[in-house]
Amino acid sequence: MPPADHHKVLFQPITIGPKTLRNRFFNVPHGTAYGVLRPSTWASYRAVRAEGGWAAVSTEFSSVGPSSDEFPLHSSDIWDDEDERRHKLMVDAVHDHGALASIELHHGGAHAMRRLSREHALSPSGLAGELPPPAGPLGTPKIMTVEDIDRVEQSFVDAAVRGRNAGYDIVDVLAGYGYLFAQFLSPFHNHRNDRYGGSLENRARFWVETLSRVRDAVGADCAIATRMSVQTQGPWGHTLEESAALIEMADPLVDLWDLNVGSVLDWGSDISPSRVIPEGRNMDLFTRIRGATEKPIVGVSRWTSPDSMAQAVRSGVIDIIGSARQSIADPFFPQKLYEGRTEDIRECMGINHCISSLDRGNMACAQNATAGEEYRRGWHPERFEPLEDKNASILVVGAGPAGLEAAIGLAKRGAEMVHLVDSADQVGGHLRPVVELPGLREWGRFIDHRLIQVDKLSNLQFIPATTLDADAILDYGASHVVIATGARWLRNGLTPSTHAALPGLDGLKWVFTPEQLLLGGERPTPGCRVSVYDAEGGYLGSSLAQLLANEGYNVSIVTPHASVAAEGDLTLDGPAVRSSLHASGVAMYRDVLLTEAGLGVLRGVGEFEVPFSLETDAAVLVTMRSPVDDLYQQLMADRQALDASGIDAVYCIGDALSPRPLAEVMFDGHRLAREFESPDPSSPLPYKRESLRLVD
Ligand code: ADP
């Protein structure tokens, strides 16, 4: 099928300087933590996006030299010949699939980490970076002399030349996010009174000079782009009006404007979580700067809907759709749209697992198990190896994320029949009620995508409202059984910090687990005092607190962590979630470890052992989960019964094996499907490890 008529605008080629994009999909710079330290992982990851139809595929931030060494963050450095060879690996792989390759040249200035190079930091005016420790480096950066400025300009030129020699089509000079050029552009950092400070024109000089020198060096061969945050929250950026003036100023030197929002301190406004920021939110800002340039603009805005993308391009406000997360969730988004297969698109949920996992050292996705596994495990997002044993009849017990993913993978591999059985009348498992929580509706895309696949796969049958016990499984007639029965929250108040039950919970009028609230619909008396004890720190505690506050309860949230919804500081929704709780009147207690409950009271210790007590009628315990694996244990305890019933193997996956975040339990199911015929499918096969050569 051809693309729908109203999507065709997204498939018109567009020229940027000496290059032409084959369509309007630009896979913009985004971190992976693979960098040039894992060049094959990196090249394969980017190449699959090119194969999936993106017209241009970019690196993450590529540091131009040791004064911007970003270790322990993973930049794709472009300092020397060895780096150039690594970049070439990615460029060639991207070119093989007909896409343009783009490199984002970066200098962090005051924010540069410099842990390996141990050089001093550079800055316009010797003012320390606004990022607090541990995220930002300590110390006062050096004021850049005119000679320093010249040296850094030259390092951008050298990096651009290396990039051109490696084969890049687009050189994108990063002037956003509060890094070095943005520090010069902003009066927050730039207090200079020479020709690089003061007026906007002076503040822009370093960036404009660099663009000019880069253009002179490689502009005949490469399109020149520059990435700019058109607006930041707080004082550390520049205004939207200044952005428009800056665009006019540098326009003759630029073939493509790569626009976004935010800075190092408000990443969440750029990498916006669906929980707090809707798709397309930046369009209003882009509309207001459009008049400043006639050059093409690539704009990001958590794009996921083809209709919204087409509308954004048709309106002329932006010319090219910039996307990172949708390309992570579905590298074949453009291809599927081109073939009119919108129903097969795995929409990004905006859950931001890609960011939290990146920060923990290896980017992964909660929708797409293959992201980052293209090279090391050889997984392709759209292709599955056929099973050798076509007669395998597989029973999957539990249609939560793990069971769903395993069942779909096995069906795609051509198993004769896969039965997916669940006590519930719908698929989705623990995620089904979660998507009804405040702000989490888009997380339902996980279920929607898989439901469509279940419907399409004739060898996969979902059997709802059926609870299986061990005897029923033995009698089922399956050759292989996959147990994906999930986990449940503890009701005894045991936490990761105590490893012991919380004494005295009987003294409270009501004690709830999340399941009792979400699945059972249980509630205390309307309007009473409810305390959510969130010792986990994920999305759930704060979501339940918000839900109960919305329902009119007098809500407190207590956590032993240094901040409420601590994981939200990695998924970037933390600040907005906390401010929403505050606005809803939820009392927040941090750094409090509960030690006992009494008659209508929770007691504990705060920081410095300061005693804590909170009067409450009800407690909601979000502390730790334990696996629901009794079925698995029963089956495995009687090998003879398994043999007698013709069951070759039983596997346990997902939360039933070990309760973990969504991305990990989904990955578990996916891995089992991919490795179903390995010597021991319960144990992951070794993956290819990239290591640096040992040298003398
Ligand atoms: P995961 O996150 O590992 O996928 P979930 O908790 O989301 O796990 O899903 C587990 C699913 O297993 C739930 O939908 C639950 O109804 C189902 N389930 C648990 N025990 C049984 C059983 N004995 N028979 C059928 N379905 C079951």
| Model pLDDT for residues 394-438, shown as the tens digit of each residue | 999 999 999 999 999 999 999 999 999 999 999 999 999 999 999
What is the position in ligand 1's atom list of the atom closest to the CA of 466? 25
What is the position in ligand 1's atom list of the atom closest to the CA of 666? 4
Which tokens hold the place of 173? Answer: 């000079």
Q: Whose CA is nearest to atom 11 of ligand 1?
A: 398
DSSP per-residue letters across 539-564: HHHHHHHHHHHHTT-EEEEE-SSSST
Q: Whose CA is nearest to atom 17 of ligand 1?
A: 398
pLDDT score of 691 more than 80 = no
Q: What Rg do the C-alpha atoms of the chain give, in angstroms?
A: 27
**What's the confidence (pLDDT) of residue 695?**
67
Pocket test for ligand 1, best of 422, 443, 446, 474 (most atoms within 8 A of CB): 422
d(CA 158, CA 63): 12
The H or E element containing residue 397 is strand 393-397
Catalytic: 179?
yes
Query: What is the Å distance from ligand 1's center to 682 Cα?
Result: 19
CB 184 within 8 A of CB 123: no
Query: What is the Å distance from ligand 1's center to 280 Cα?
Result: 36
Mind listing the pLDDT tens digit for each residue in 87-99?
999 999 999 999 9
pLDDT band at residue 268, thresholds of 50, 70 and 90? confident
Pocket test for ligand 1, best of 396, 423, 650 (most atoms within 8 A of CB): 423
* Segment 48-71 mean pLDDT: 97
CB 672 within 8 A of CB 482: yes
Query: What is the Å distance from ligand 1's center to 358 Cα?
Result: 29
Query: What is the Å distance from ligand 1's center to 447 Cα?
Result: 14
- Sheet of 587-589, strand order: 510-512, 618-622, 529-534, 554-558, 587-589
DSSP state of 533: E
The H or E element containing residue 222 is none
Residues with CB under 6 A from ligand 1: 397-403, 421-424, 429-431, 467-468, 484-487, 628, 631, 654-656, 665
Residue 588 CA, distance from chain mean position: 27
Summary mean pLDDT of the chain: 96
Mind listing the pLDDT tens digit for each residue in 641-682?
999 999 999 999 999 999 999 999 999 999 999 999 999 999
**What's the confidence (pLDDT) of residue 133?**
87
Beta bridge partners of 102: 58, 170
**What's the confidence (pLDDT) of residue 306?**
96
Catalytic member of 177, 179, 553, 589: 179
Beta bridge partners of 105: 62, 173
Find all residues with CB under 8 Å of 69, minimum gap 6, and list them.
63, 75, 77, 112, 113, 114, 115, 116, 117, 119
Find all residues with CB under 8 Å of 590, minimum gap 6, and list them.
559, 561, 562, 563, 564
Query: What is the Å distance from ligand 1's center to 612 Cα?
Result: 38
Lookup result for tokens 């030299």: 65
d(CA 13, CA 23): 5
